[in-house]
Structure 1
């Protein structure tokens, strides 16, 4: 029985695809070789942007064309948002509209011992661990709360066991991820609103993991994926400060815009100054933390002055990386039919200008790391014999090292910045 999978979108999707793969592998399913037709294809889709929808359809059609006898199972956010549209695509035999149905899906294929988590993530050097699902926010541009509305936090003991298993299997970096990571525990806390002393928060989980001993395969580190600025609490910062070698000094804090008027139209929960202040608080407690972010360019009604405000806020926050992308209209969201939609060429030009600011900020941050020791997770070997990897501060590093195999830590001291990376 041969299997092919394809994942689009976020780290949560990658984790959930691996969950399905491991469940099927337990009853004898194996990956199809290159050029070999599969008996089953699983596509995990994304719907954050119109491009995500389009790419999802392209993958499904390609799988149907290359594997004419295969069953095609489609899951993910696009499948949830437009199940009838997905069912009409060639070869699709089942559409999973709710990720809570994944154990049932495995059961229908004959898996009796449904896994509680994953034991690896293929050939990746880092492992993702999904600790939470669902989002309660109603940002005016985002369709995800419509397709993943149910908050669900995984039991802490279950997460700890999974992290132990992954580190024992040789993974040196574990990335905690969720649809709204900072809402870990919120579903439990809502059941006891008056008993705040017993509330569970993300900082409690991170501290629990930070205090675990090194595994039999050696030391490891934990990194947090995307989080909201209001959830960068003093308690979370304290855990990071108390365990600098275990918790990466890096947070990806979603900003989306640096203009207060645009943030109001986006229905975000804070203003630009509060965001910058939170970045400042992080820098007060940690040694040169890396702060990365997302920025939507060309939100409806965004004026040139508002875009300039975003650039100014980016500089004030001092990001080390900015993921900038043009606004994409999603049917069913308030922003879908907002007036003053921004012209495509204007968005393209602003993306270019944002990229210039990102390069300026990135290089300034990387220069601040020159001469300081960094722990680097080796990820690949370059053609000239050097290796490439990611530092604890999420900066790409290239260096010459003996025995630097993928998946190992090396301690390196960068000597210069070149082409958007550190040379050590």
Structure 2
């Protein structure tokens, strides 16, 4: 479905038209913005500089929280002020959820409520050739690759299944071509992304006789055959989709990073039932234990919602205990946000902002302790660091991430940015691991090494 205010006709322009792209939200949104940008550039547009107005603005919105809605509106209004006379195309989850409000914002000429119809929208702008995938990921040293779209779960707190309904998996051959292209263009890390990545392939073979299954772990193995000095990371996965096939594939794949992001959401079984999650806490933790048995020093990160309706102090303490037992390296914490259109918005026992704030502070303290514990375990261990940026207040030092997603600071220069640097963990600091560079680039498999 598309919401239009006028029929768009592209006027002849002897000068090269300019565009400005703004993205809010998840990795999938960032990928989709890059795809649109490459389509525009391929068809004659160039990105506007900071000090010039853009002929076309594209905003990719988010609606996962109320804050996402508000920021989306704010960005659209700001673009209208800063780009007089521009036309703004709005896409993304907030545009899908509330197209009427979006269409009434200044300079909005079209609202895309279904991204599958995006090629038709761009065609009306004169964009005839839509690329099958991306070739670059501007502004980042790692590239996100979207492998599937949509979610069919019914979690009581989540609005996303209503704005990205159904499942749609991309053909594995298209994904492989895209990853090869990105690796050839110098990207050292590819992040496999989607709305519900663990359901990759379910829609293409479920109920279709004669077709062999091709699931996420099959995709791992296929991509792992791509040669080169690069690594692959999985953005997130549900423990319900982690089975022996998944674990064995993860162990066999040379390029796959030993870091996974299973979303816990709560460490209380009673809260999980109210959330309509598909696992018990014990089953969740058993999966992590099994992965550690097979994969060794694997790192786990997670999401936790604090202050879900009806959450008692005892249930919160259960979450704290589960996080401690899981030994998460990082916890993304979210105070519960009541979303209109979800079941949880009408649940009894809404938690006061004061209680939510107190619990957020307490679990944040635990999160830092768990992170420091994991960072400490990496001291004297070899690290493959993807350098991402210089450290502004520390000349001669750079910052990046290890294969386990540990943030690492080490001596370096601008020439290291976007490259792998071999190092060894030295000591922990407030929010990262200090490291020393290896004397030899071939020493990455050594456990005890000479450093400079």
Paired residues of 2:302 and 2:331 also in contact (CA < 8 A): yes
Paired residue secondary structure (1:257) = coil
Aligned to 2:348, which of 339, 355, 358? 339
1:350 counterpart residue number:
359
Say which one has the larger Rg. Answer: 2
Matched pairs, number: 417
2:442 counterpart residue number:
none
Aligned to 1:254, which of 229, 240, 263? 263
1:35 counterpart residue number:
51
Paired residues of 1:404 and 1:410 also in contact (CA < 8 A): no
- Cα deviations across residues 259-278 of structure 1 (Å, max 9, x unaligned)? 00000000000011111111
Paired residue secondary structure (1:142) = coil
**C-alpha distance in structure 1 between counterparts of 2:263 and 2:280, whole Å:** 13
Q: Per the alignment, do residues 93 and 301 of structure 1 end up closer, same or farther by CA in structure 2, a change over 3 Å counting?
A: same
1:240 aligns with 2:250: yes
Q: Per the alignment, do residues 39 and 401 of structure 1 end up closer, same or farther by CA in structure 2, a change over 3 Å counting?
A: closer
- After TM superposition, the structure 1 = structure 2 runs for residues 86-101 of structure 1, keeping only pairs within 5 Å, are 86-101=102-117
2:417 counterpart residue number:
406
1:211 aligns with 2:220: no
Q: TM-score, normalised by structure 2?
A: 0.91
2:148 counterpart residue number:
132
**C-alpha distance in structure 1 between counterparts of 2:285 and 2:108, whole Å:** 47
**C-alpha distance in structure 2 between counterparts of 1:355 and 1:200, whole Å:** 39
Cα distance, 1:150 vs. partner?
2.1
Paired residues of 1:387 and 1:404 also in contact (CA < 8 A): no
Paired residue secondary structure (1:237) = helix
1:20 counterpart residue number:
36
**C-alpha distance in structure 1 between counterparts of 2:434 and 2:415, whole Å:** 15
1:162 counterpart residue number:
178
Paired residue secondary structure (1:302) = coil
- After TM superposition, the structure 1 = structure 2 runs for residues 305-324 of structure 1, keeping only pairs within 5 Å, are 305-324=314-333
**C-alpha distance in structure 2 between counterparts of 1:366 and 1:288, whole Å:** 12
**C-alpha distance in structure 2 between counterparts of 1:131 and 1:102, whole Å:** 17
Cα distance, 1:239 vs. partner?
1.8
2:443 counterpart residue number:
none
Cα distance, 1:286 vs. partner?
1.0
**C-alpha distance in structure 2 between counterparts of 1:89 and 1:190, whole Å:** 42
1:202 counterpart residue number:
216
1:6 counterpart residue number:
22
Paired residue secondary structure (1:132) = strand
Q: Per the alignment, do residues 114 and 402 of structure 1 end up closer, same or farther by CA in structure 2, a change over 3 Å counting?
A: closer
| Runs of 4+ deviating beyond 6 Å | none
1:367 counterpart residue number:
376
Paired residue secondary structure (1:199) = coil
Cα distance, 1:403 vs. partner?
7.3
Paired residues of 2:35 and 2:133 also in contact (CA < 8 A): yes
Paired residues of 1:378 and 1:404 also in contact (CA < 8 A): no
2:194 counterpart residue number:
178
The answer to which of 85-94 and 13-22 deviates more is: 85-94
1:387 aligns with 2:403: no
Cα distance, 1:402 vs. partner?
6.4
Paired residues of 2:88 and 2:107 also in contact (CA < 8 A): yes
Cα distance, 1:189 vs. partner?
2.2
Paired residue secondary structure (1:414) = strand
**C-alpha distance in structure 2 between counterparts of 1:35 and 1:234, whole Å:** 54
Q: Per the alignment, do residues 403 and 73 of structure 1 end up closer, same or farther by CA in structure 2, a change over 3 Å counting?
A: closer
- Cα deviations across residues 220-265 of structure 1 (Å, max 9, x unaligned)? 000000111111222122122112x411000011111110000000
Unaligned runs of 5+ in 1: none
1:304 aligns with 2:320: no
Paired residues of 2:90 and 2:108 also in contact (CA < 8 A): yes
**C-alpha distance in structure 1 between counterparts of 2:324 and 2:415, whole Å:** 36
